[in-house]
């Protein structure tokens, strides 16, 4: 028996696995132009689970032509930093390095100030993601999650398994418009449905 | 704020298909390996079409690389791996791995089916849980110029696979049984 793949598994929904979906077609070009105009300094603002990391991952291929080195750093909610920053991070960086920092709002005000100042001195670019805008770095894009975008993501993940729009709306609302949490809920719903239908399918295949 | 966009003469690459407008009708999914129509193609198949194995079984499969004259292959990697899927992070374990660099590739490599064989280990067995699944696959990866890759995964199972509902049915006592 081959295992059925749940289309909402993390391996399909993690940042970078899906394309970022813009509400309007010309927004990627405008965003990149704005980032360049501002000297490659900017922050992407949006609520939890709306696709900020996915957007930075999607931008990477276009930024690689300008920045051969892109360093990704994640600041976790407890303030811990993941990514190579202490060993050979800032000190060895130079203007061809772009720092992409996820969750900058998790740093204290003072830490953040020192951190951004040192990166500005050493690196060629700084792209931040944050739940709320921080001072000193221009906002280049504000993500507003919408049901339309969530529905489009679901159709990309499971094009052959259309889901009732009413159910999708319910899931999206229950998860406070968080795309990530809504996809997690769909994972559970898919598993529950599968368990409900497997005995039927097993019986059918046994009869053939 | 200082405008540093002119520090380097390098420009940003133009945007391509990585972004989707919300009303696009395309149906790309995260489930498929990236590739284009002009990429080499891979076919992977198990000997005698058997895709279920037990620990200690000899797994045999073949793969064929279909090339166009303009294609250049830098290396071919074949591996037999297991991976977890579910709500959490994905773990991967490598059971068998072989890399054939450009020097080891001959015209025959692309004319005849190439064989992968290995003895399957005792664990981890294929598992189909609600929160976690363990899947085994044969992965063939072609390395092309400019760090471009073409990957093909061919899934199989190790051990006797039961669905979660079947396992729970088996461990639950028969509800129709009467007691004294």
For residue range B33-75, list pLDDT tens digits in order. Answer: 445 557 888 999 998 888 999 999 999 999 999 888 888 899 9
State the smallest CA–CA distance between residue B8 and chain A in angstroms: 8
**pLDDT at residue B37, as a whole number:** 59
**Cβ contact (<8 Å) for A157 and B31?**
yes
State the smallest CA–CA distance between residue A101 and chain B in angstroms: 19
Burial bucket for residue B21 (CB in 10 Å: 0-12, 13-18, 19+) = middle
> Can you list the residues of chain A whose pLDDT is less than 70?
1, 83-93, 195-208
Residues of A in contact with B83 (CB under 8 A): 11
What secondary structure letter does DSSP report for B9? S
State the smallest CA–CA distance between residue A88 and chain B in angstroms: 23
Give the domain ranges of chain A.
Answer: 27-142, 145-207
Average pLDDT score over residue span B143-147? 87
**Cβ contact (<8 Å) for A156 and B28?**
yes
User: Which residue in B22, B88, B170 has the most chain A C-beta atoms within 10 A of its own C-beta, making it the best mutation to test that interface?
Assistant: B22
Assigned token pair, A138: 């221009």
Mean pLDDT of chain B: 79
Q: Please tell me the distance from the alpha carbon of residue A176 to that of residue A159, in angstroms, as a whole number.
A: 24
Would the pLDDT of B16 be above 60?
no
Length of chain B: 180
Across the interface, of B5, B12, B161, the residue whose CB is closest to A65 is: B12
What secondary structure letter does DSSP report for A85? S
Would the pLDDT of B177 be above 70?
no
| A27-142: CATH, from 3.90.180.10, 3.40.50.300, 3.20.20.70, 3.65.10.10 | 3.40.50.300
Q: Please, what are the domains in chain B?
A: 42-168 (2.60.40.640)
Q: Please tell me the distance from the alpha carbon of residue B44 to that of residue A106, in angstroms, as a whole number.
A: 47
Q: Please tell me the distance from the alpha carbon of residue B112 to that of residue B72, in angstroms, as a whole number.
A: 17
Q: Which residue is associated with the tokens 């797994």?
A: B59
User: Which residue in A5, A10, A11, A22 has the most chain B C-beta atoms within 10 A of its own C-beta, making it the best mutation to test that interface?
Assistant: A11
**A175 and A81 Cβ atoms separated by less than 8 Å:** no
Q: Please tell me the distance from the alpha carbon of residue A47 to that of residue A176, in angstroms, as a whole number.
A: 10
């Amino acid at each position: 028996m081959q295992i059925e793949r749940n289309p909402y598994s993390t391996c399909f929904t993690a940042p970078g696995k899906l394309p970022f979906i813009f509400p309007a077609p010309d927004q990627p070009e405008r965003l990149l132009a704005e980032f360049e105009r501002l000297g490659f300094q900017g922050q992407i603002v949006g609520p939890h689970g709306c696709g900020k990391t996915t957007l930075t991952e999607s931008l990477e291929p276009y930024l690689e032509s300008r920045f051969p080195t892109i360093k990704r750093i994640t600041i976790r909610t407890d303030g811990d930093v993941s990514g190579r920053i202490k060993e050979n991070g800032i000190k060895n960086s130079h203007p061809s390095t772009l720092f992409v920092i996820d969750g900058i709002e998790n740093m204290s005000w003072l830490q953040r100030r020192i951190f951004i100042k040192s990166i500005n001195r050493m690196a060629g670019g700084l792209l931040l993601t944050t739940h709320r805008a921080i001072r000193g770095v221009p906002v280049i894009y504000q993500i507003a999650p919408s049901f339309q975008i969530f529905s489009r993501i679901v159709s990309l993940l499971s094009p052959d398994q259309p889901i009732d729009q009413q159910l999708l709306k319910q899931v999206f609302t229950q998860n406070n418009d968080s795309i990530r949490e809504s996809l997690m809920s769909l994972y559970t719903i898919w598993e529950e449905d599968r368990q409900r239908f497997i005995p039927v399918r097993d019986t059918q295949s046994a009869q053939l | 704020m200082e405008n540093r966009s002119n520090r380097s003469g390098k420009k940003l690459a133009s945007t391509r298909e990585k972004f989707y407008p919300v009303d696009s009708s395309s149906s790309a999914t995260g489930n498929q390996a990236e590739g284009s129509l002009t990429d080499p193609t891979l076919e992977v198949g198990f000997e005698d079409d058997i895709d279920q194995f037990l620990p200690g079984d000899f797994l045999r499969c073949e793969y064929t690389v279909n090339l166009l004259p303009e294609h250049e292959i830098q290396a071919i990697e074949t591996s037999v791996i297991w991976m977890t899927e579910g709500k959490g992070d994905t773990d991967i374990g490598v059971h068998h791995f072989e890399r054939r660099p450009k020097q080891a590739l001959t015209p025959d490599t692309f004319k005849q089916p190439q064989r992968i064989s290995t003895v399957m280990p005792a664990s981890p067995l294929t598992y189909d849980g609600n929160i976690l699944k363990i899947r085994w696959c044969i992965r063939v990866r072609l390395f092309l110029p400019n760090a471009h890759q073409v990957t093909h995964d061919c899934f199989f199972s190790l051990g006797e696979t039961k669905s979660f509902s079947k396992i729970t049915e088996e461990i639950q006592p028969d509800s129709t049984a009467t007691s004294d």
